[in-house]
């Protein structure tokens, strides 16, 4: 039977073994905890890398994409106007202006010595004839108030482009369907993006549907220039003064070749608009240094002209596209049918027996629809 001392010794050894076992288990738990912590840290670091790393490489990619977008888009400023209101105002003011012009001419003639009046009778007759033609043009315009009123209603159906992020690249094929045949065309954003955007807006709004081509020219020039050969359309009123309630900025066609004919000092250089060109008509006025009159710019809108033979014009008409070969032939066939003179203070009346070189198409041309290919 063990003695008391032996029992105490056995108890001490048992306690020592228990302590060793506890310490071993504690060390094991500590190692496991450290391992788990390390794994968590590694996982977090890895996760952090996963979240952060894509932002690093993508940042320059994003900037590059933004720069590429900016290089192929622009911002356009479109000026507001009241097209119908301006036309009505013009109708109301023309008689007053013509009366004033007649009075001024009469006063100048009265101030001339009798012998000078005799020597200048041809010039005086020409001046009076010019005023008579201007009066006829004013009377014709006054008759078209109903068309201007209809245009005002049409203008309520279309809003100007916002001008933001306008593409500067790409082409847009389409068709002008007329009662004289289909005219295929292609708009080119790279030539005049702001003006093309206006036409895309108008075409999508069916603004040109059921409108006339109101003007045709066949001016052979003076031998030094190529003349002017165009069919002009895009005015719903058919008056030549109509369009939507905004204007587009000028976009100079710097890519056109210059013309050999000389220009007056301070005037925009002339260039050749090749046959098949589609350009935007405008009522720009160059500044006059002699009178101090300021110039008028950025007046283009919906009116456009189709060049059916190489033409010489100042480089102030924005080019928005071109006709296809078949479309050009349709316009040339229209031109062969001639021009009917209409009173116009800005064009010379043809002499008896001579064909008109500026007026309306003898064969009326009406646009039934103008569309873009889907």
pLDDT along the chain (374 residues), means of 10: 62 67 66 47 41 52 80 97 97 95 94 91 91 92 96 98 98 99 99 99 99 97 85 98 98 90 67 98 93 94 99 97 99 98 85 94 98 94
Q: What pLDDT score does 339 carry?
A: 98
- 361: nearest Cα among 331, 330, 334: 334
- As beta bridge partners, residue 322 has 186, 277
Task: Flag whether the pTM goes above 0.85.
Answer: no
pLDDT for the residue numbered 182: 99
Taking alpha carbons only, the member of 340, 153, 163, 143 closest to residue 244 is: 153
- Residue 307: CA count within 13 A, CB half-sphere: 24
pLDDT at 41: 41
Distance CA 362, CA 364 (A): 6
- Rounded CA separation 331/229 (Å): 10
């Amino acid at each position: 039977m063990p003695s008391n001392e032996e029992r105490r010794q056995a108890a001490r050894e048992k306690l020592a073994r228990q302590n060793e076992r506890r310490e071993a288990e504690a060390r094991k738990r500590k190692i496991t905890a450290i391992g788990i912590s390390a794994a968590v840290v590694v996982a977090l670091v890895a996760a952090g890398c996963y979240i952060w790393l894509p932002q690093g490489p993508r940042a320059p990619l994003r900037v590059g994409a933004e720069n590429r977008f900016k290089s192929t888009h622009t911002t356009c400023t479109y000026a507001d106007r009241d097209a119908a209101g301006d036309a009505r105002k013009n109708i109301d003011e023309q008689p007053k202006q013509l009366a004033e012009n007649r009075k001024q001419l009469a006063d100048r003639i009265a101030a001339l010595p009798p012998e000078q009046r005799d020597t200048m009778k041809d010039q005086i007759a020409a001046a009076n004839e010019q005023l008579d033609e201007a009066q006829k043009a004013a009377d014709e315009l006054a008759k078209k108030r109903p068309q201007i009123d209809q245009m005002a209603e049409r203008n309520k159906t279309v809003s100007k482009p916002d001008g933001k992020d306008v593409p500067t690249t790409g082409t847009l094929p389409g068709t002008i369907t007329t009662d004289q045949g289909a005219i295929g065309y292609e708009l080119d954003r790279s030539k005049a993006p702001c003006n093309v955007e206006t036409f895309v807006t108008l075409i999508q709004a069916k603004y040109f549907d059921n409108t006339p081509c109101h003007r045709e020219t066949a001016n052979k020039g003076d031998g030094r220039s190529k003349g002017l050969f165009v069919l002009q359309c895009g005015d719903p009123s058919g008056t030549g003064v109509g369009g939507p309630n905004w204007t587009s900025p000028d976009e100079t066609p710097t890519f056109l070749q210059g013309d050999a004919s000389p220009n007056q000092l301070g005037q925009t250089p002339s260039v050749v608009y090749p046959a098949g060109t589609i350009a935007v008509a405008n009522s720009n006025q160059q500044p006059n240094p002699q009178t101090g009159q300021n110039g008028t710019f950025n007046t283009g809108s919906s009116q456009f002209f189709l060049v059916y033979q190489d033409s010489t014009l100042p480089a102030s008409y924005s080019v928005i596209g071109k006709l296809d070969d078949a479309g050009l032939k349709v316009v040339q066939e229209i031109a062969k049918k001639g021009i009917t003179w209409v009173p116009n203070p800005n064009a010379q009346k043809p002499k008896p027996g001579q064909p008109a070189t500026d007026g309306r198409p003898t064969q009326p041309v009406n646009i039934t629809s103008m569309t873009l290919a889907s």
